[in-house]
Amino acid sequence: MIVHVVILAFGACVLAIWVSRHVILSATRRTQMTIRPGDAAPLPEPAPRVSIVVPAKDEQANIAACVQTLLAQDYPDLEVIVVDDRSTDGTAEIVRAIGAADPRVRLVQVGELPPGWFGKPHAMTSGAREAGGEWLWFVDADCRQAPGSLRAALAHTLAAGGDMLSLWPLLEMKGFAENLVLPLCGSILGLYFRPQRVNDPESSAAFANGQFVLVRRSTYEAVGGHASVRDKLVEDISFARVVKGSGHRLLNAVGFDVFHTRMYDSLAGIWRGWTRIFSGAWPRPWPILLVALLVVLVSASPFVLTIAAGVMAARVGWADAWLNALAALGAVQLAVMATVLARYCRMIRARPAYLLLYPVSILIVLGILANALAMGLGLTKVRWRGTTYHKGTSVS
């Protein structure tokens, strides 16, 4: 009897968690959590100068499109500083050509990496050093901006009294692996680092997406800039922790209508990239273990309960009321989970058809979490942007 009560209580908790996620989705979609170019509030007159810093390492396939969307911003006073971080392709030549036609674009070249620095923090520091703006906007080369993204982001930040804003992007998911894995990866990160928690000054939660970081120059310098995270493989979340921990106002918002990016185009790329992201989001092992356990308990258990209880109930001809109740509970869990996931897919503009393979998604993401855990424990290495890292330190 005690076992029955425990199973029922656990099942009810899982069901309640899935119901609560409808509430979370509704809260996230509220206007104050979402930035849209058409909703921008008026800017001060004159508008503050913004320096856009784009770190670029071997980005000849992306850099032209990225810079063009930055130059197309409907913002009166900006400059674009592209930092060529030891590229071996045609990145620098492409930027020079764009700069020859538009004086708002400047190229800064990094010849070597100083000891103790990782590449991206050093590139952004090099760009910020050359910037003359009152605000710094750090943008990744694989991102594409809507014409009003800067105006909307800065207006939102000023209206909220923020010192730093980072946006969640719309992820382009074109291939099979992307559609299968990225929605679940993104939802894990989004649930743990919800904008509601990050935006609360009383909460210790801090998060930033390095693809879009807008920060006051005075705040950036007060916390030591990216030199404060010079040796962090996932520098964006670490920098957010530094900014919020120093008492500055950190903001997050959803920016699906503001910018988009295609992060990875293969399962191998997703595996490496999200191993890096998860290991940086939770530098200590126990949060990764907790997240993996929650994925099993909340996402996998409804399938296990429905199938196991259903099979056992069918074997006795559906004559056992307890087994019938468990099978029904599992079915209700699956139904509510399906409505949450379908709603989430609509919000992030993913393909709901891939929900039919959700159990496969769970298994792959659990593998990525296990790899991130192993990396955090120093049992494995990760290769990123041509460099191999072990225990958070570059080894080649």
Q: Report the share of the chain in percent with pLDDT over 90.
A: 80
Q: Does residue 69 have a pLDDT over 60?
A: yes
Domain limits, CATH 3.90.550.10, in the chain: 34-169+209-264
pLDDT of 300 over the 90 cut: yes
By CB atoms closer than 10 A (0-12, 13-18, 19+), residue 38 is exposed
Please give the torsion angle defined by the CA atoms of residues 46, 158, 251 and 224, in that order, rounded to the nearest 10 degrees. 50
Decide: 273 and 186 in contact? Cβ < 8 Å.
Answer: no
Average pLDDT over the chain reads: 92
pLDDT digits (tens, 9 = 90+) for 227-241: 999 999 889 999 999
| Nearest-angstrom CA–CA distance, 265 and 263 | 7
Homologous superfamily, domain 34-169+209-264: Spore Coat Polysaccharide Biosynthesis Protein SpsA; Chain A (3.90.550.10)
Check pLDDT > 60 for residue 395.
no
pLDDT higher than threshold 90 for residue 258: yes
